[in-house]
Chains A and B, each alone.
Chain A
Amino acid sequence: MRLGEITVKVRVIGQRATRKVRVAQKTRAADLLNQLGLNRETVVVRLNGKIVAEEERLADGDSVEILPVVTGG
């Protein structure tokens, strides 16, 4: 891990695997979504089991669950 980087566990609901993603320190959930190519208007973020606003900052070892909720049905 490079200096100034943290690792978070990411799981997109509907996809099987949980992956580890390296992001810069002080990264917000919204930045992570951008990095993953996901539109914030279409998902809900659960940080360590709690639904949070996308402006929430991530910390090393955090568990991030992303729920796609805007699916049209």
Chain B
Amino acid sequence: MTKCTFCGRRAAYHRRYAGVFLCDRCMIRSVERRFRRSMGEHRLVSPGERVAVAVSGGKDSVACMHLLADYCRRKNCELVAVTVDEGIRGYREESLPIARENAKQLGVEHFVVSFEQAFGATLDQITTLARRKGTGLNPCTYCGVMRRSLLNQAARELDADKLATAHNLDDEVQAIMLNYVRADFSRLYRLGPSYPPREGFVPRVKPLRGIPEKEVALYALLKGIKVHLGVCPYVGGIHAEIREFLNRLEANHPNSKFMILRMFDRMRPHLAEAMPEFEMRRCEVCGEPTSSTLCKSCELLRGLGLGRKQKTLISTKST
């Protein structure tokens, strides 16, 4: 039997990058400590603020909501949850009730906004249309851009001071690598624990950025939190290849993911300096903030012959 390095109980996890074994209790405590440290170190949320957390029902977002609920109780903050229903048959209808159930259990007000309601089409329909029109863009491109836009709009309508997303260490390192591979400087320099406030955007924060995805999953499983462990049917392409590469690297060379993040964080201030200033405008179709005449969502929708349908997203509560 392998034993916990700290208390001698049966180990549930070997944290290879630190050379320690952790039992269930020490593992839970360790994740909670890292979460609180990240919140404090980067000043992600201030006492009394209203925080909107994006919750899909998956392990990361549900764990993030549980951790934030506890944090907000201690810091006298208000927490609300938002789920984006992209309209992915056989996937989102399984995870959405889990998000709702967890929010209810924590006493967190929960709202659902959907692609269908906002854009008049589900992601499944958008994907079919994109293939028919031969846009050459994959579902993740549409989903990523449109989900971000809806979350920002929903958080703004809910008067949130911060929008928390459950991006973990793996997500962040994948995004760094992806932007390198695509030589996308403007997206690369914006990656960080929080986004600076800009007009029209609710500042986004990522409290799980320093916690590996496997540890977030273990936290949820060991705490007995109900989560959806399904895999999005659209997962694939370069994102999946980069994830596989990083996991292979980590298996052979523990600590690689942290080292990539640490190196990037040292470069980040210099990247921001090198980035030219740009003026924020309003999208001429939907009024959302953009650096161009059209926001990215409206640009993608226009390419498919679609447009925004509903101006206001938050009208009814889900729970």
Contact = CB atoms under 8 A, between A and B. Distances in A.
Contact of A53 (B13, B58, B217, B247): B13
Given A69-B59, A70-B247, A51 B218 contact: yes
A25 interface: no
Contacts of B240: 72
A55 B235 contact: no
A56 interface: yes
**B interface bracket (residues with beta carbon within 8 Å of A):** 20 to 34
Max count, chain B CB within 10 A of own CB: residue among A56, A68, A71, A73 = A73
Contacts of A41: 214, 247, 250-251
Contacts of A56: 1-2, 11
B266 to A, nearest CB: 24
Interface in B162-194: 170-171, 174
Given A41-B214, A52-B2, A67-B221, A72 B10 contact: no
A18 interface: no
A41 B245 CA distance: 11
**A interface bracket (residues with beta carbon within 8 Å of B):** 20 to 34
Nearest to A46: B221
A73 B56 contact: yes
A73 B235 contact: yes
Contacts of A73: 56, 58, 60, 230-232, 235
Interface string B3-37: 00000001111100000010010000000000000
Given A72-B171, A73-B56, A42 B247 contact: yes
